[in-house]
Structure 1
Amino acid sequence: MSAALWGARPLEADRWRFALWAPSAREVMLQLDGTDHAMTRDAGGHWQTDVTARDGLPYVFRVDGEDRPDPLSRHQQGGPLSPSLTVDARRFDWGAPWDGRPLHDAVIFELHVGSFTTEGTFTAAARRLPDLAALGITCVELMPVSQFEGARGWGYDGVLIAAPHPAYGTPDELRAFVRQAQELGMMVLLDLVMNHFGPFGNALPAYAPEFFSDTHTPWGGGIDFAKLPVQAFFREAAVSWLKDYRLDGFRLDAVHEIRDGQDQRFLRDLAVKLREEVRDRPIHLICEDERNLTHLRENGFDAEWNDDWHNALHVALTGETQGYYDRFAADPFGDIAHALARGQVDEGQSRPARNGDGPDGYLPPRGAPAAHLPWTAFVNANLTHDQAGNRPEGRRLISLVGEDPARTVHAALLLMPFVPMLFMGEEEGSTTPFHFFCDPPTDDGRDAVRKGRARELSAIGYDTSNIPDPCAVATMEACRPYPAPDPARAEDWRALTRQLTQIRAAKIVPLLASGKIGEGDVSRHGRAFEVRWPFNAGRLHMRLSLGDPLPGPALEAPDFRLGQPGHDSFSIEVQIT
């Protein structure tokens, strides 16, 4: 019997295999479309049976007399604890083949399906894709769509990792979304959460407590990644997403909380396995890792969310230093210069603490040297769901700093050599807030979320007296950025975005493809910077003012200019040679 098999999968003709790891169970039966089937157990606690089945049949695992959904379900009849449904992804017509795109082509667009459109569905989102493609977006990154309890949420509390959330649509409707994106030349990445399960609707602890560890994460009980069946569960989930939905890769959430006791050997092996399983297109793997280490990017992962860029920029432009921004409070403009030259800020070096209040006046070291990595190993963003949503009022950067600074850093983001990522609405200068929202199934759960949210934000210095109710329908409804209240202003922003992505595609992408040949050469002048990035095929030269005019002669015949760096406090000019 296979020791690395979970869930229900078609074999050949009408034969299917159903499997579950439940090492403590005395008996496990498969109930498929009302008929019971015995399952056999191996020495490792895997239960398995091969039976006749077809697409769309309801089934449960009856574990010691209790009916349980498939933890690797691909589709549910209803909520997370309802019967699972068989899904045969081979039936879907993909039309034309898809060869994928290299990561250096990427202009990423982070999208929350539930609030991207009024309908909040995959089908409605697919109708918006031609508009994104026309703006020069080449990659859509879906916030997590794994099924969670309730009708609305960010998605980071999923409990059925391989099943699309039913409020968004069916598996075939998600496949149709991906097909539409790829027909328009856009890659699709999925934000996948492996580090924890949500607090509601997870049946695994009831019959497989061995799946979990005594180590806690910020979101609840830890997962025992040292166990091979646990690794197999997440590996098979990732493979199924790639193969069943023809995805181009993943953003893996908070990988620092994926602890296998072997320096994340699981993740490094996962990168190899995914590319072995999918050979017809490039598979891109992006991680979020608050440690700022490089070992994953040196061993199979392509890039990391570069929160250093966002945090230094945010502190520099807003002056806010609460919470995680405090680390960048001592010299945010110096941190920006460091990030422009080397990619990230924290590289394990000594860095002064604000007011000298760290140990010996310095911050605890964080990170590792990263300048040897390609520029595409850093996914830079001026805004993400986190940075807007993890504040009481959900305000975007543009609402904090104003129009001219926002347009300047928008241009810088899209014209730097790093992989740029926009959060939905940013392409047209949206000021619509993005709140934290969820839909717990019980009064106690809702009360706990409200109190926990207020406590968390108060602890880092925010006023929570007028915090929107995270459990209210209206809170999510207020997060929809489209349509823009001022269409003329939105179109002006969209024209800027189109201009920038066209320059990037025509002139910066070829530089990236040619390869970097050294660090960025950065001259800092107070709150202004002159940067030269060298490549085998040429040079990218940027003059950027983020609060001070930049001395020196203007660039002759620049490829892009917004304002006058020699005179204006916020301006940018770029030349590619």
Structure 2
Amino acid sequence: MNDQTTRAGHHWGPTYLGGDTWRIATWAPNASDVVVRIDDRDTPLTQGDGGWFAGDVTGRAGDAYHLIVDGTAHVDPAARWLPDGVAGPARLCAPVAPDVPAPPVDWPAVTILEIHVGTFTTEGTFAAAAARMAGVAALGITAVEIMPVAAFSGHRGWGYDGVMPYAVHPDYGTPQDLARLVDAIHAAGMLAILDVVYNHFGPEGASLPSVAPAFFDADRTTPWGPGIDYTQDPVRRFFIDNAVIWARDFGFDAFRLDAVHQIVDPSPVHILTEMAAALRSALPDRPVPLIAEDERNLAEGRDAGVITANWNDDYHHAVHCLLTGEDESYYANFAVDPITDIARALAEGHVEQGQPRANGTRGAPSAHLPPTAFVNSNQTHDQVGNRAQGERLITLTDPGALRVAHAMLLCAPAIPMLFMGEEEGARAPFLFFADYEGEMADAVRKGRAAEFAAFAQFGGPVPDPLSRDTFERSRPYAAPASDAAEWRALTKRCLAWRAAALVPLLRSGPAAPPDVAPTGTAALRARWTFGAGRVEMIAHLGTVPDTPAPLRNPDLTIGDPAGPNYLAVKATTP
């Protein structure tokens, strides 16, 4: 085995070498023989050290191929293009070619809109989404976070049950269509963030369990399937190379890492540390921020510079409880004193930092982190879609208080994220939907119904997740609300103030601990001090404060200062 084969063998799937030549590699440590079959032509791969098989094959872009592992045909687990779905065949795919340079990565200036490609437009394609990017940017959004696009079983789904991480879901378009969507995001002056799932595979259509059963940890399971053995170099390489390809070849600027708490890696160097280093090496002139969804509320990844920011569900839960009064399940802790929890989230990031709470102890101190180490939100795909009826917050609370909460999110120092439709007050639900058949479909239906059996506040029969109607109802822009223009104007006004007044202060960094305190059961005052100045805010979220805290000459106001729904914010520089 020569050095060239060794290097190739450590990179999964097909690599285009020019002309009609491709190098294909896979890890199959339990196999004795692997062949690539293109049409009727078989090319044996060379077996190398550690279970790798690699070799050069001849074919043209678009040619179908299979891996024949010990005589049985399989879809390449690292296939780049699966136009016929995850059952294959895989097809050789020419390298994508983004054309538009990305804007600089200015993290303090980031404001995120989370979108699901399949429901973001009527067509549900990359091309249709690309046509809307200029309008998104016009509101002041500076980054678009795309829910997972890796190929999954069936035609419709959220994307978190992906089974072929290197291939785009064919119902959305081609790999080149995705590259053009990233181009459109960049052309509009925004960053492109991709949501990736590196903690599990979906329940149907994955070929890895057959090609490389050693990929999985027999002693561990996740809530969604078998655990993954990250201690093995080929397993680490599978995910690290995947991230590098999305960033280097497709042009993605950052990643949201799903359920990091399930990426259990006892290795001396955690896989995410190695991934961050690989991204720095592949794009030395451009940072690639990693955003973690991590329910543990730990600061370690951010302290080490591996993680740029965490999704801050604590902020969401406290705001949700204050506005809705819901108190079941994971909301219970945050329903006791939500305004105090909101104040703590605005001052220190996470609410639960290891102190005793009603439902136990979680987290570690986070007050030392800058506000930009947290992504705050009032709604996300999780928090809307994981309700039985998929209701948006605007249908569950007083619109006046919600407008204040909306403005508070956009004007406070943490990185704000909106869920598609939220910027214009959309009322359409976002429901859980999937596209399975037979026993898997029945299991999904039963599981979804059982999940909400104990939630009285979620109410009513669970919509059939396999029904196409459930999917169609989840399009937020299909029928704009009568007040959509007013909501868009509010969003635009708040984000304009943020860009002009707050972002320069965020760039200068914190200079003193924040001072945030309740002024009533649903009101607060806040002051954040930065190297270049300070920001002051008062907010009434549905009640007149017990101890009014007037703000002189505010830059931006919403509502009546003597009323229950009011926000004022002001930035001051020396």
* Cα distance in 1 for residues equivalent to 2:229 and 2:285: 33
What is the match of residue 507 of structure 2? 513
What is the match of residue 289 of structure 1? 294
Answering whether residue 541 of structure 2 is matched by residue 546 of structure 1, we say yes
Relative to structure 1, is the Cα distance of residues 265 and 553 closer, same or farther in structure 2, using a 3 angstrom cutoff? closer
* Cα distance in 2 for residues equivalent to 1:523 and 1:464: 34
* Cα distance in 2 for residues equivalent to 1:105 and 1:57: 44
* Cα distance in 2 for residues equivalent to 1:296 and 1:57: 42
* Cα distance in 1 for residues equivalent to 2:448 and 2:127: 32
* Cα distance in 1 for residues equivalent to 2:403 and 2:542: 13
User: Secondary structure of 1:491's match?
Assistant: helix
Q: Contact conserved, 1:9 with 1:88, CA < 8 A, in 2?
A: no
Task: Report the residue type matching 1:508 in the other structure.
Answer: L
Q: Following superposition of structure 1 onto structure 2, how do residues 342-381 of structure 1 map, counting pairs within 5 Å?
A: 342-351=348-357, 353=358, 363-381=359-377
CA drift of 1:466 comes to 2.0
User: Secondary structure of 2:470's match?
Assistant: helix
What is the match of residue 455 of structure 1? 450
What is the match of residue 276 of structure 2? 271
User: Secondary structure of 1:281's match?
Assistant: coil
* Cα distance in 1 for residues equivalent to 2:10 and 2:49: 13
What is the match of residue 117 of structure 1? 121
Answering whether residue 181 of structure 2 is matched by residue 195 of structure 1, we say no
Q: Contact conserved, 2:312 with 2:376, CA < 8 A, in 1?
A: yes
- Listed one character per residue, the Cα deviations across residues 433-468 of structure 1 (whole Å, up to 9, x for unaligned) are 11000001x221111101000111114445664211
Relative to structure 1, is the Cα distance of residues 100 and 58 closer, same or farther in structure 2, using a 3 angstrom cutoff? farther
What is the match of residue 3 of structure 2? none
Q: Following superposition of structure 1 onto structure 2, how do residues 240-319 of structure 1 map, counting pairs within 5 Å?
A: 240-262=245-267, 265-299=270-304, 300-319=306-325
* Cα distance in 2 for residues equivalent to 1:134 and 1:279: 30
Relative to structure 1, is the Cα distance of residues 195 and 96 closer, same or farther in structure 2, using a 3 angstrom cutoff? closer
What is the match of residue 225 of structure 1? 230
User: Secondary structure of 1:401's match?
Assistant: coil
* Cα distance in 2 for residues equivalent to 1:83 and 1:443: 22
Q: Following superposition of structure 1 onto structure 2, how do residues 178-189 of structure 1 map, counting pairs within 5 Å?
A: 178-189=182-193
- 1:206 aligned to which of 198, 204, 210: 210
User: Secondary structure of 1:98's match?
Assistant: coil
CA drift of 1:264 comes to 7.0
Tell which deviates more after alignment, 108-117 or 398-407: 398-407
* Cα distance in 2 for residues equivalent to 1:263 and 1:386: 32
- 2:468 aligned to which of 448, 460, 473: 473
CA drift of 1:204 comes to 1.3
Answering whether residue 142 of structure 2 is matched by residue 146 of structure 1, we say no
Q: Contact conserved, 1:150 with 1:439, CA < 8 A, in 2?
A: yes
- 1:235 aligned to which of 240, 245, 251: 240
Task: Report the residue type matching 1:285 in the other structure.
Answer: L
Q: Contact conserved, 2:34 with 2:70, CA < 8 A, in 1?
A: yes
TM-score normalized by structure 1?
0.95
What is the match of residue 401 of structure 1? 397
Q: Contact conserved, 1:106 with 1:138, CA < 8 A, in 2?
A: yes
What is the match of residue 418 of structure 2? 422
Task: Report the residue type matching 1:520 in the other structure.
Answer: P
CA drift of 1:548 comes to 2.5
User: Secondary structure of 2:303's match?
Assistant: coil
* Cα distance in 2 for residues equivalent to 1:379 and 1:198: 26
What is the match of residue 504 of structure 1? 498
What is the match of residue 359 of structure 1? none
Task: Report the residue type matching 1:84 in the other structure.
Answer: A
Relative to structure 1, is the Cα distance of residues 390 and 58 closer, same or farther in structure 2, using a 3 angstrom cutoff? same
User: Secondary structure of 1:522's match?
Assistant: strand
Relative to structure 1, is the Cα distance of residues 553 and 38 closer, same or farther in structure 2, using a 3 angstrom cutoff? closer
Relative to structure 1, is the Cα distance of residues 70 and 464 closer, same or farther in structure 2, using a 3 angstrom cutoff? farther
TM-score normalized by structure 2?
0.95
Answering whether residue 82 of structure 2 is matched by residue 88 of structure 1, we say no
Task: Report the residue type matching 1:116 in the other structure.
Answer: F
Relative to structure 1, is the Cα distance of residues 389 and 508 closer, same or farther in structure 2, using a 3 angstrom cutoff? same
Task: Report the residue type matching 1:105 in the other structure.
Answer: A
Tell which deviates more after alignment, 224-233 or 245-254: 224-233
Q: Following superposition of structure 1 onto structure 2, how do residues 118-137 of structure 1 map, counting pairs within 5 Å?
A: 118-137=122-141
- Listed one character per residue, the Cα deviations across residues 47-76 of structure 1 (whole Å, up to 9, x for unaligned) are 000233443322211111111111111111
Structure 1 unaligned regions, length at least 5: 354-362
Percent of aligned pairs with the same residue?
Answer: 48
CA drift of 1:372 comes to 1.5
Q: Contact conserved, 2:423 with 2:491, CA < 8 A, in 1?
A: yes
Tell which deviates more after alignment, 214-223 or 323-332: 323-332
Answering whether residue 15 of structure 2 is matched by residue 6 of structure 1, we say no
Q: Contact conserved, 1:58 with 1:77, CA < 8 A, in 2?
A: no
Answering whether residue 55 of structure 2 is matched by residue 59 of structure 1, we say no
- 1:16 aligned to which of 22, 27, 37: 22
